[in-house]
Structure formats: structure tokens, C-alpha cells
Amino acid sequence: MSTALLKENQLVEEAKANPEKFAVLYDKYVEQIFRYVMRRVNSQETAEDLVSQTFYDALSHLNSYTFKGYPFSAWLYKIAHNNVLKWYRENSKYQKVDLEEITDLKDENLDVEDQVDALKSKDDIREFMDQLEEEERELIRLKYFEELGNLEIAEVMGITANNVGVRLYRALKRLKQIMS
């Protein structure tokens, strides 16, 4: 086990005893969690709400955290992941589009749906990823955007590390087929 991990765990234990030290953990991970949430919801406002909720939850449940040999961020990702899923459940009827990005579009004659499509087309790989299942997208995001290890992904998604490898392989294979 790396020294960095042990030091981080020591910091977490100190934060349990003195919650004011939680700010150190916040400073370390807030931007990382924000990017992860932003990739999921693609809305600044929603992402900020979900990041706030994630850190509130982490602070209030800090005493229940147990060190399992991987970074504290995995626990934060798990809370964020659950909050995003909850948000999607509660807002499943609506598809939120960032107005700021929409106004950047040159062709203002397009309707909202076309604008959303146009927004997606800016990034081909994301368009291809949209054709994957949500779980496959999440695996790819955690692996290649958040750069988490299989153990951490397993912790976030509630599956085994071996299963992460197998599912990730299938997701990449499908993505490759879609791209070709």
C-alpha cells in the first residue's frame, strides 16, 4: 500500500475526529468530482448542485467511511454517482440543455432538439458513446476520463474488479464497432 494512500487515510481519520479538517479533502477532490458530474449532466448549474450535495453527504457520513485500500476519491465518486443517478430518476422527463452552449450555436433557426443534436455532433466520440448503454458509458468515463483503477471503479459501481475488466472490454468492443 502506497504511502500517499496511508497519509490520505490518516487525514480522513483526523477529519472524522475534527470535521473542520474535511476542508482539506474538499480542496483536494472538488474539481475532480465536479468534472465527473459535469460529464454526466452537461449542465453547470446542475453539476454545482450535485457537487454540493455530494460533499454534504460525505461530511455527514464521514464516520461511516472505512478505508479499503484505495483512494478516498473512490468513496466520493460513489456518492456522486448515486446522486447523479438519483437526479436522473427525478428528472427523467426532462432533458436539460445548457443554454449558454446553445446560444453559441451559429444557426439560431434550428429548434431545440436539432440544437442538442448539433451540440453533440461537436464531439464524435461522445456521439458514438451515446449509442452505448449507460453502464457501458459510465465504465468508459470512469476508466478513461476519471482515470480510476478497476478496484476503484468496482467500488463506485458496486461490482467486482474482475467484472469491471470484462464489462469494460465489451464496452470498448461495442464502441469500436460503432465507430467503424
Partner 1 sequence: MENLDGKYFERVIGELQKAKAKENYVLNPEFKSRLRADLVARAELLVEKPGFDWNAFLNKWKYAFGAVPTLAILTVVAFNFANNKVVVKQTDFMPVIQNTGADMLKVAGNDSSADLVNTYSVSENDSLESAGVKTFSAALALPPAEFLEQYKNGGSVQNKMIVPTVEVSSFSFDSGTGQDVGSLKISDPKLQTFKFDFGSATVDFSVKSNVDNFVENVNSVQVVPKNEVSKDTSVQLDNANVNTSKFEESGRVESSGVIISPVQNKEQIMSKTVPVQEESVNKVVSVDQPKTVEPVPSLNEVTVKESPDAILLKDNKVVAPTATEYINPQIEMTKLADYYVPANTLMNQAMSVQPNVFAESRVKYEGEDRDLIVRLVSQSFVGKTDFAPDYYIKVEKLLSGNLKISLFEYGYISKVIFLSAADGFKVVTELRY
Which CB atom, from 7 or from 173, has the smaller least distance to partner 1?
173
Q: Using CB under 8 A, which of the segments 20-28, 93-101, 130-138, 152-160 binds partner 1?
A: 20-28
> Is position 34 an interface residue for partner 1 (rule: CB under 8 A)?
yes
CB of 32 to partner 1, least distance (A): 10
Q: Residue 120 and residue 114: Cα distance in Å, rounded?
A: 10
**For partner 1, how many residues bind (rule: CB under 8 A)?**
38
- Residue 84: other Cβ atoms inside 10 A: 21
Contact 54, 48 (CB under 8 A): no
CA 83 to chain centre: 10
Q: Residue 177 and residue 73: Cα distance in Å, rounded?
A: 32
Please select the residue that binds partner 1; options are 8, 22, 73, 167, rule is CB under 8 A.
22
Q: How many helices (H) and strands (E) does the chain have?
A: 10, 0
Name the site residues for partner 1 (rule: CB under 8 A): 18-23, 26-27, 30-31, 34-35, 38-39, 44, 48, 51-52, 55-56, 59-60, 123-126, 140, 144-145, 165-166, 168-169, 172-173, 175-176, 179
